[in-house]
Amino acid sequence: MSKALEFVDEQLVIDLTKRLIKTPSVSGNENKLRTLLAIEMTKAGFTEVKYDENNNIVGKMPGQGTGKTLLLASYIDTVPPGTMEDAFNPKEIDGSKLGTKGKVITGRGAVDMKSSLAAMICVASAFKRTRSRLKGDFIVVGLANTKSGKNLGIKKLIDKFELAPDYIVVGAPTNLNINVSHPGQAIFEVLAKGKMGNIGYQEVSENAILKMNRIISCLNENINLPKDKLYGQAQMFFSSIISNPVDATHSIPDLCHSLLVRQYFENEDPEQIKSAIKTTLSKNNFKEGVDFLINLRRHFRPFKAPDDSEIIQHLSKAFELVTKKSTQIGFWKGAVNISEIFKVDTPIVGFGPGNEKFANTVNEHVPISQLVTAFKVYTVLAEKICVQLKAKA
């Protein structure tokens, strides 16, 4: 049984999720949300709340030093709202309009990952009400700058604030499955080179935008993408494009820059992928250095948690206690960059409310039933690890 589960306030987590969504936190601009989180964490019962110059924030309920420590982590930053209506005005609506059963909360960050962050923070409120005496530390971490790739990683945060987690759970959306893996991702900078010229004299110029168009068509038509038994076919797409000069109407651009994103699997390497892209372009009459340049900007490797990780067993039992059902082992198909940010030896798995396919979309939302269930599961898990488990002598 769980004593803390009796003190879970469902409305508390719903209201906090909405407050977090109302506070914009596009990657690189998390200051306001970090300030709000410091207030909410203190109010919830965290006796130690700290943050760094990059807006990463840590809430800690210290234990007596005789037990195990659990660290729950979510990202506090989001992608821009784009064309999403009322992105920062969360609403409770019938989810059937968006392809989800039951009531949902809408808004940018609803599923990625402000709902799980709210659920994690509210665990402290349940502990506070039970007056539970923790043997090990209970820690919640909110990570900033994850979308931009500028997060310095949780290891530096762990070292800086002297944290010592025995287990880590990431709140990325899993539909309440326990996710244990994700594919890798490589981001390449592709530069198409043309020849600047004055409008009216295209015969002595070469439009870099048109050349980039041909490069994109060439790669889309000729690159053979591998398939994986678990993830399916690797995804490849161009995510950004810009010309030089920018916003010019009087001259033909001589440069065009784009970002190419490519998923990859365990048996692949980003440098080999770059080499294959260059070979494909060369075979189709594009000359490296003359027509194009390509560089690897950033990548994170495929991630796979060990099958025998104790945290999987603890999380499964917590889920079963709350729902009376068995959870499923799953995986992320999207860009959950655990291997990039969590470069630690501590066992890591993912568990969070909502479906990742709605992250970063105009229809981003989280089911309220899953939000509440996640809150309860985090609470039972934290109670098991931080209150009941003893540290090995």
Residue with tokens 């949902």: 104
Q: pLDDT tens, 258-274?
A: 999 999 999 999 999 99
Kindly state which CATH superfamily the domain 4-181+303-388 is placed in.
Zn peptidases (3.40.630.10)
Residue 21's pLDDT band (cuts 50, 70, 90): very high
Token pair, residue 175, equals 């539909």
pLDDT at 172: 95
- pLDDT(82) > 80: yes
Strands 255-264, 184-193: pairing is antiparallel
Residue 132's pLDDT band (cuts 50, 70, 90): confident
Query: What does the alpha-carbon distance between residue 49 and residue 236 come to, in Å, rounded to a whole number?
Result: 40
Pick the CATH number of 184-300 from 3.30.70.360, 3.20.20.140, 2.160.10.10, 3.40.309.10: 3.30.70.360
Which of helix, strand or coil describes residue 18? helix
Alpha-carbon distance values, 282 to 135, 268, 272, 337 (Å): 62, 21, 15, 32
Q: How many CB atoms lie within 10 A of CB 86?
A: 11
Tell me the domain boundaries of the chain. Answer: 4-181+303-388, 184-300
* Nearest to 15, CA basis, from 124, 127, 114: 114
Token pair, residue 389, equals 């488990």
- C-beta of residue 113 within 8 angstroms of C-beta of residue 174: no
* Nearest to 193, CA basis, from 293, 278, 294, 291: 291
Q: pLDDT tens, 35-56?
A: 999 999 999 999 999 999 999 9
Q: pLDDT tens, 135-168?
A: 999 999 999 998 887 888 888 899 999 999 999 9
Token pair, residue 169, equals 């759970």
Query: What does the alpha-carbon distance between residue 108 and residue 100 come to, in Å, rounded to a whole number?
Result: 17
Residue 343's pLDDT band (cuts 50, 70, 90): confident
Share of the chain above pLDDT 90, in %: 80
pLDDT at 344: 86
Per-residue pLDDT, averaged over 376-380, amounts to 96
Residue 388's pLDDT band (cuts 50, 70, 90): confident
